[in-house]
Chain A
């Protein structure tokens, strides 16, 4: 069976790559249609393989761990390209290929009149390839390959409209911030190699406990002795912070909305940004052994969940609202991992992939209809024109707000509960964050919802003329996503989270003392009762009040928003300024880095080294030459005098010094003899 899985995995991974190559290099031959047919066809192949693998793995207990080829051998280390197909991977690849396929299809409509049509498909397939490499990796090298690969495609896609200044800026920012994360990540990998002497997952995980028991420490700063595992976990988590946009490395994600909307759905909501969460789950055998790291993960995640969500409340761009929502939800997932509820995190990842992709695609549908107008203030009352979009968006919003029985409810509630039950330091703070977060979530998404689809029509007249529902290639994916957004929570909550032998199998490792989900499993009695139970829990009422507030402010009494804004102007200002992260980065890092570079270049390099030292020595020599040149005065008696001086000096020197031990010896002695 494992051979079958290997073959299927290979096909699954390589099919998108092939598609990408076809669309990228042979677009002239294939044409637009040919390109999208090729890529989508190959995506379907990939999806099929993914499903087959999923069936084999989940239902037949299959798995595969092995090397595809040796990437490099060096000393006693080997770096391989290989697959590790287990339950976690199986779930993830379903999500990736499924969403990717839908987004491919959707893009036919969305990108219909774009110049870079084939390029777009090329990038998307390439992205899928990289993402699949990431999740199928059996070692850190390949993980890093996929990790950077998705980063690259993200960069390319954000800057897809390369003539748009903001897009190009956003892409650069995204890449750089991601690189900051990768910086930590590679240090983490280096630490793994150093202390485990391998970068293969299996060996690393197998030896983690031994390393923990040995209490190996590393002295990062002189005098400190930090647990190696903590250092590894934290550095790896820095990578996750970059990729999964955790505070303070979240700043790139809102900017990434400059890219085409399908990309926002695929990369910046459903898949790539969740790579960090996947990585945390994958590394659970390591993280579990470091409480410090878990605390950090929990606190960072929870903080992000609340505070980035609040920024979403004040955004006017429909995509930005959803982007901040993504940040917030990523915070939830991270917090889940921090609370050792890795399964809940991954589960939320899956549900989130569905409903967030749905929301984005729906928003995209709106945007296309509105002729690429994204400002909520110029919408309103769209429900009449775009019913399908309206309904699917609503489904997505409900799922996001964790209203039972939509998918989001099961995953998010589990997270909030897990954080509540956690015993890791910082869990109380985190609990309040995630709890209040559920109010904020509902508030911003329904604010957007009401502003866009209800209330007064603020649409410009010429747009209005062409306003109609999107073509089928766009709404079919919406529906295809709306269904799982509704049902998978109820379907999968039990088998994934609470079942004693969950569908994640052994792929997630949790220490018994941290296993919060196990405690929650006792209270879970089927999806329906769990949904009913929600009515007596805080998160539900927070969410409902969020929806209510949104309804009140945006539909029922739109003018009150002005009043509130004025009342809490300082708070509003902080939110609009996004807590100052962007300005801070711009001033300190972007500007500061450039200034530092300029200082180094103009002052140290050009002035000091080059001008003073290098050219200076040249000038000194020339000056010396001019000085010495003066000796040659042209006067015969000076010439003769020089000769006589030479005579006198030589005579005096030789006669005065004791020639056999004096200066000669000094000049001719053997300094450099071989001993």
Chain B
């Protein structure tokens, strides 16, 4: 439905304007002002998502809450916003995550607080922009513009090796998206408009489709990240401050998969079909190979970072299994499970991994180390914290009842329809993911308390508890009743599947 109230615009610009206001609070002597403004802004953002969800019409794949103005006439660029079933959950996800980040950084960030909060609010606005943009250039503007605040957040508030990590992150993602711009411009030349939907009916020859596919692939694969362009992620996640890691894991990575759904599948369906084996193989490598890599980690953040890669492998697998499934069963309706599984997997991963990063941030803030071997027996002094972490670890492992299960379950089930071995490799995550997650959990949280610092730890503060409770509630809610999420997806996923199976040759 269309409302006259520019809800999406408000969701984009409110945080950005708040960021400006925060910057005006000045130095760290007014840090609490900055914190409170950030908090208020993010809570308002979250509240604004309620009408977004309730007024969302689940029966139509059309864009809703549409806003469309000419932005730059000379370029033919529109300020076009709108959400469908695929992007709406992502918008909500963004606002929740920002609130969590604000809560989690309340005490851990002590220097340049205003700049920090501002950076994250700008990120929020831009991220919503990415998910809500219906114009390719607007999308790209947000997509790339986000690099600036996140680059700064890693670089300024990161840990020892932050410069390297931030530059690596920046170059990697910039590298990926450069060619996408060429593809978008190319499409625009032929469709005459930058509206993403105008690219859908475009007829493109196979070779052109493959080129565009590769351009998109680079952009999105880097963000997802897919093997072998994933190596920025462990560094960036590890060095970023807790909030940065959360935003990276919870949101940035999703943009990649979102890109596949919004661009690759509907714009170049034939190339996707042609190259789906590549995507599947890369996804499986992410799941299995990266899983093993995660086992070998000695750094908690790095381990979770690698686990992110593995989990996102599921999301990409879900996106690209659809062709095999339809080929095997001959029924497009069968592919829903896979694609919706991918969506659920993305959202679930955001919460569980985000929460784990917040958790590691809590520990890092107190013990100034991330090495697994420096921990041990954390449960004893911090039982509440440990319980939360156990929940999120279990979601990471994909335990039924938590959100992590839903996506994996759906994707494994549907990938069997496509190919037996794909399902087998995908299902191997059951063992591998639990191996690395729980082994780390064991070494960090269980065992004897050997260090006096650990024995002296206090359990998490009320603010942290609040942040964790929000995350835990969502994790459980999605795990127990995913239909609440799935129902908003159906129409859009169905539409997407139609588009992805229309030959454009």
* A/B touching: CB–CB < 8 A: yes
Nearest CB on A from B224, distance (A): 15
Q: Give Cα A191 to B448, complex, Å.
A: 44
A613 located at the interface, meaning its Cβ lies under 8 Å from any Cβ of chain B in the complex: yes
Can you identify 19 A-B contacts, CB atoms within 8 angstroms?
Answer: A72-B483, A73-B483, A74-B337, A141-B409, A148-B401, A152-B399, A156-B390, A163-B449, A187-B412, A190-B414, A190-B417, A194-B413, A194-B416, A218-B420, A596-B292, A596-B295, A597-B296, A600-B296, A609-B228
Q: Give Cα A601 to B293, complex, Å.
A: 5
B394 located at the interface, meaning its Cβ lies under 8 Å from any Cβ of chain A in the complex: yes
Name A168's contact: one of B232, B415, B421, B446 (CB within 8 Å).
Answer: B446
B482:A71 contact, CB within 8 angstroms: yes
Across the A-B interface, the 7 shortest Cβ-Cβ residue pairs: A75-B336, A190-B416, A597-B295, A597-B296, A601-B296, A145-B400, A597-B292
A190:B296 contact, CB within 8 angstroms: no
A254 located at the interface, meaning its Cβ lies under 8 Å from any Cβ of chain B in the complex: no
Which residues of chain B come closer than 8 Å to A182, judged between CB atoms?
430
Which residues of chain A come closer than 8 Å to B410, judged between CB atoms?
72, 74
Name A163's contact: one of B211, B394, B421, B448 (CB within 8 Å).
Answer: B448
Q: Give Cα A172 to B379, complex, Å.
A: 16
Q: Give Cα A491 to B132, complex, Å.
A: 68
- B469-505 interface with A by 8 A CB criterion: 480-483, 486-487, 490
A149-B401, A594-B296, A675-B205 known; A600 and B289 CB under 8 Å? yes
Q: Which of A173-181, A388-396, A525-533, A642-650 contacts B (4 or more CB under 8 A)?
A: A173-181
A187:B427 contact, CB within 8 angstroms: yes
Which residues of chain B come closer than 8 Å to A76, judged between CB atoms?
331, 333-334, 336
Nearest CB on B from A527, distance (A): 42
Name B431's contact: one of A183, A191, A672 (CB within 8 Å).
Answer: A183
Q: Give Cα A189 to B411, complex, Å.
A: 12
A563 located at the interface, meaning its Cβ lies under 8 Å from any Cβ of chain B in the complex: no
B451 located at the interface, meaning its Cβ lies under 8 Å from any Cβ of chain A in the complex: no
Q: Give Cα A152 to B434, complex, Å.
A: 11
A220 located at the interface, meaning its Cβ lies under 8 Å from any Cβ of chain B in the complex: yes
The number of residues on chain A lying at the interface, defined by a beta carbon within 8 Å of a beta carbon of chain B, is 60
B416:A193 contact, CB within 8 angstroms: yes
Which residues of chain B come closer than 8 Å to A171, judged between CB atoms?
442
B490:A190 contact, CB within 8 angstroms: no
B447:A183 contact, CB within 8 angstroms: no
B409:A609 contact, CB within 8 angstroms: no
What per-residue 1/0 map shows which CB atoms of A46-84 lie under 8 Å from chain B? 000000000000000000000001111111110000000
Which residues of chain A come closer than 8 Å to B211, judged between CB atoms?
672
A582 located at the interface, meaning its Cβ lies under 8 Å from any Cβ of chain B in the complex: no
Q: Give Cα A37 to B331, complex, Å.
A: 54
B204 located at the interface, meaning its Cβ lies under 8 Å from any Cβ of chain A in the complex: yes
- B217-266 interface with A by 8 A CB criterion: 228, 231-232
Which residues of chain B come closer than 8 Å to A193, judged between CB atoms?
413-414, 416-417
Which residues of chain B come closer than 8 Å to A601, judged between CB atoms?
292-293, 296-297
Name A71's contact: one of B296, B435, B481 (CB within 8 Å).
Answer: B481
Nearest to B410 among chain A residues (CB) is: A74
Which residues of chain A come closer than 8 Å to B399, judged between CB atoms?
148-149, 152
Nearest CB on B from A91, distance (A): 25
The number of residues on chain B lying at the interface, defined by a beta carbon within 8 Å of a beta carbon of chain A, is 73
B380 located at the interface, meaning its Cβ lies under 8 Å from any Cβ of chain A in the complex: yes
Nearest CB on B from A143, distance (A): 10
What per-residue 1/0 map shows which CB atoms of B358-400 lie under 8 Å from chain A? 0000000000000000000101100000000010001000011
Which residues of chain A come closer than 8 Å to B400, judged between CB atoms?
141, 144-145, 147-149
A471 located at the interface, meaning its Cβ lies under 8 Å from any Cβ of chain B in the complex: no
Q: Give Cα A172 to B336, complex, Å.
A: 35
What per-residue 1/0 map shows which CB atoms of B289-314 lie under 8 Å from chain A? 10011111100000000000000000
Name A176's contact: one of B390, B406, B427, B434 (CB within 8 Å).
Answer: B434
Nearest CB on A from B324, distance (A): 12
Name A179's contact: one of B190, B430, B446, B490 (CB within 8 Å).
Answer: B430
B438:A176 contact, CB within 8 angstroms: yes
Which residues of chain A come closer than 8 Å to B414, judged between CB atoms?
190, 193
Which residues of chain A come closer than 8 Å to B294, judged between CB atoms?
597
Secondary structure at the A interface, as helix, strand, loop or mixed, is helix
A593:B292 contact, CB within 8 angstroms: yes
Nearest to A140 among chain B residues (CB) is: B413
A179:B420 contact, CB within 8 angstroms: no
B297:A672 contact, CB within 8 angstroms: no
B205:A77 contact, CB within 8 angstroms: no
A583 located at the interface, meaning its Cβ lies under 8 Å from any Cβ of chain B in the complex: no
Nearest to B429 among chain A residues (CB) is: A183
Which residues of chain B come closer than 8 Å to A71, judged between CB atoms?
480-483
A610 located at the interface, meaning its Cβ lies under 8 Å from any Cβ of chain B in the complex: yes
B204:A674 contact, CB within 8 angstroms: yes
Q: Give Cα A226 to B365, complex, Å.
A: 56
Nearest to A590 among chain B residues (CB) is: B435
Which residues of chain B come closer than 8 Å to A3, judged between CB atoms?
none
B188 located at the interface, meaning its Cβ lies under 8 Å from any Cβ of chain A in the complex: no
B487:A73 contact, CB within 8 angstroms: yes
A602 located at the interface, meaning its Cβ lies under 8 Å from any Cβ of chain B in the complex: yes
Which residues of chain A come closer than 8 Å to B208, judged between CB atoms?
672, 674
A176:B394 contact, CB within 8 angstroms: no
A159 located at the interface, meaning its Cβ lies under 8 Å from any Cβ of chain B in the complex: yes
Which residues of chain A come closer than 8 Å to B447, judged between CB atoms?
162-163, 165, 168
Nearest CB on A from B296, distance (A): 4
Nearest to A75 among chain B residues (CB) is: B336
Name B416's contact: one of A77, A152, A187, A674 (CB within 8 Å).
Answer: A187
Q: Give Cα A191 to B418, complex, Å.
A: 11
B428:A183 contact, CB within 8 angstroms: yes
A190:B293 contact, CB within 8 angstroms: no
Q: Give Cα A675 to B295, complex, Å.
A: 50
A576 located at the interface, meaning its Cβ lies under 8 Å from any Cβ of chain B in the complex: no
B481:A69 contact, CB within 8 angstroms: yes
Which residues of chain A come closer than 8 Å to B401, judged between CB atoms?
145, 148-149
Nearest CB on B from A548, distance (A): 45
A520 located at the interface, meaning its Cβ lies under 8 Å from any Cβ of chain B in the complex: no
A593:B435 contact, CB within 8 angstroms: yes
Nearest CB on B from A78, distance (A): 9
Which residues of chain B come closer than 8 Å to A70, judged between CB atoms?
483
Which residues of chain B come closer than 8 Å to A147, judged between CB atoms?
400
A674:B205 contact, CB within 8 angstroms: yes
Name B446's contact: one of A73, A74, A163, A218 (CB within 8 Å).
Answer: A163
Nearest CB on B from A35, distance (A): 15
B448:A165 contact, CB within 8 angstroms: yes
Name A75's contact: one of B334, B435, B445 (CB within 8 Å).
Answer: B334
Nearest CB on B from A178, distance (A): 9
B36 located at the interface, meaning its Cβ lies under 8 Å from any Cβ of chain A in the complex: no
Nearest to B203 among chain A residues (CB) is: A674
What per-residue 1/0 map shows which CB atoms of B431-461 lie under 8 Å from chain A? 1001110110010011111000000000000
- A193-211 interface with B by 8 A CB criterion: 193-194
Nearest CB on A from B409, distance (A): 7
B282 located at the interface, meaning its Cβ lies under 8 Å from any Cβ of chain A in the complex: no
Nearest to B168 among chain A residues (CB) is: A614
Nearest to A25 among chain B residues (CB) is: B387
Nearest CB on B from A585, distance (A): 12
Q: Give Cα A593 to B413, complex, Å.
A: 26
Nearest CB on A from B90, distance (A): 18
Which of A594, A596, A598, A672 has the largest number of chain B CB atoms within 10 A? A672
B412:A597 contact, CB within 8 angstroms: no
Nearest CB on A from B460, distance (A): 15
Q: Give Cα A477 to B447, complex, Å.
A: 33
A73-B487, A194-B416, A605-B231 known; A597 and B442 CB under 8 Å? no
Nearest to A162 among chain B residues (CB) is: B446
Name B409's contact: one of A156, A162, A186, A191 (CB within 8 Å).
Answer: A186
B276 located at the interface, meaning its Cβ lies under 8 Å from any Cβ of chain A in the complex: no
Q: Give Cα A190 to B341, complex, Å.
A: 14
Nearest CB on B from A248, distance (A): 15
Nearest to A231 among chain B residues (CB) is: B420
What per-residue 1/0 map shows which CB atoms of B327-345 lie under 8 Å from chain A? 0000101111100110000
Known: A163-B449, A179-B434. 20 other contacts (CB 8 A): A69-B481, A72-B406, A73-B487, A74-B337, A162-B446, A168-B447, A179-B431, A182-B430, A186-B412, A187-B427, A190-B414, A191-B416, A193-B417, A597-B293, A597-B294, A597-B296, A600-B292, A613-B228, A618-B171, A674-B205
